[in-house]
Amino acid sequence: MRQNLSWIVLSAAGLLASQVARAGQGDLARQIDAQRAGVVDLERLDVRRAVPDETTSLRSWLDEASAQYAREEFDRVRELLDRCIAQAELIRQKIVAVDLVAQAEEREAAVKTLRDKTESARQSLQQALIKKKALEMTTK
């Protein structure tokens, strides 16, 4: 009786462990799918097309993760997903950096335009003052 009870407990524990492992494996599949959806979002954010090589690498790693998942090499899948998460963060940072550089360049161009207009107005004012003095000298 005691052996039957311990066998039942061990069987139940084994069944529970396999279900937990499968649930973890299902999470891996969901993570792969979520990362794939994230790639589409990243490409949409990359309006300046600054990181096409990085997104291509990310897609290929996700394809490799899917292949490893199909072969049930779950440790390798986890490694690839970690790499994909880091790559996605790198892509986000590069997109932000490129956008900030473009924004800074636009602002610098606006400042240059304003400086040119200010200098032109300054020269016009100086010419007007010279003409005024010349007119004052001739009328005296």
Q: Work out the mean pLDDT of the chain and round it to a whole number.
A: 87
Residue 50 phi/psi, 5-degree rounding, is -90, -20
Nearest to 54 by CA among 94, 80, 92, 91: 91
The neighbour count for residue 136, using CB atoms within 10 Å, is: 9
CA distance 72 to 88: 24
Place of tokens 């311990």: 6
What pLDDT is attached to residue 25? Answer: 82
CA distance 63 to 77: 10
The neighbour count for residue 58, using CB atoms within 10 Å, is: 25
Q: How many domains does the chain have?
A: 1
CB neighbour list of residue 29: distance below 8 Å, 6 or more residues apart: 69
Asked whether the predicted pLDDT for residue 56 surpasses 80, the reply is: yes
Collapsed DSSP state (helix, strand, coil) of residue 140: coil
What pLDDT is attached to residue 5? Answer: 45
Please write the tens of the pLDDT for every residue from 77-106: 999 999 999 999 999 999 999 999 999 999
What pLDDT is attached to residue 8? Answer: 52
The pTM score is 0.70
Asked whether the predicted pLDDT for residue 121 surpasses 50, the reply is: yes
Please write the tens of the pLDDT for every residue from 1-28: 445 444 454 444 444 334 434 446 889 9
Asked whether the beta carbons of 86 and 115 are under 8 A apart, the reply is no
- Which structural domain range is residue 97 located in? 2-139
